[in-house]
Amino acid sequence: MIALNFHPRAEAVFVKDMKWATNAEGKIWIDAADKLIVAVALWPRREKPIATSVESLRKMAAVFYQYVRMKDGLWFDSYRRFDASRFPETATIWKKEIIHEFFDHVEFVVQAEKEKIIAPDKPPHE
């Protein structure tokens, strides 16, 4: 796992709905083998977190996204949280805490090699 702390550059320009991000800093976790983002956490610069582990930031960060790898190696969105109260600048966009949690991902497998596709007698647009 690779973990990086980040913050926007002073000269960074954000679209209107993302201006709140100028006052944020965060941490990103990247799976070293698959080179995919595992989690992202953001918090206002004025609120330095006591602990910056995935587990603590999942509960404490103002914005948190997490992905999970299934047994077969596929990655899925697992958890998203945005606490608008921590970024007052977002009051015109979001007004509350939003949480989306996804679990029990099931992979459905279809074997199509046994099926035969029969061509139509004539093309559909004649």
Q: Nearest 5°: phi and psi at 123? A: -60, 145
Region 56-61: mean pLDDT is 87
More confident residue, 124 or 80: 80
Instruction: Determine the Cα–Cα distance for residues 69 and 74; give it in Å rounded to an integer.
Output: 6
- Is the Cβ–Cβ distance between 25 and 6 less than 8 Å? yes
Residue 124 — very low, low, confident or very high, per pLDDT cuts 50/70/90?
Answer: low
d(CA 73, CA 36): 12
What are 18-34's pLDDT values in tens digits?
877 888 899 999 999 99
Instruction: Give the angle 36-40-45 at the CA atoms, nearest 5°.
Output: 145
Indicate whether 125 pLDDT > 70. no
Q: What are the backbone angles phi and psi of residue 54, rounded to the nearest 5°?
A: -55, -45
pTM above 0.85, yes or no: no
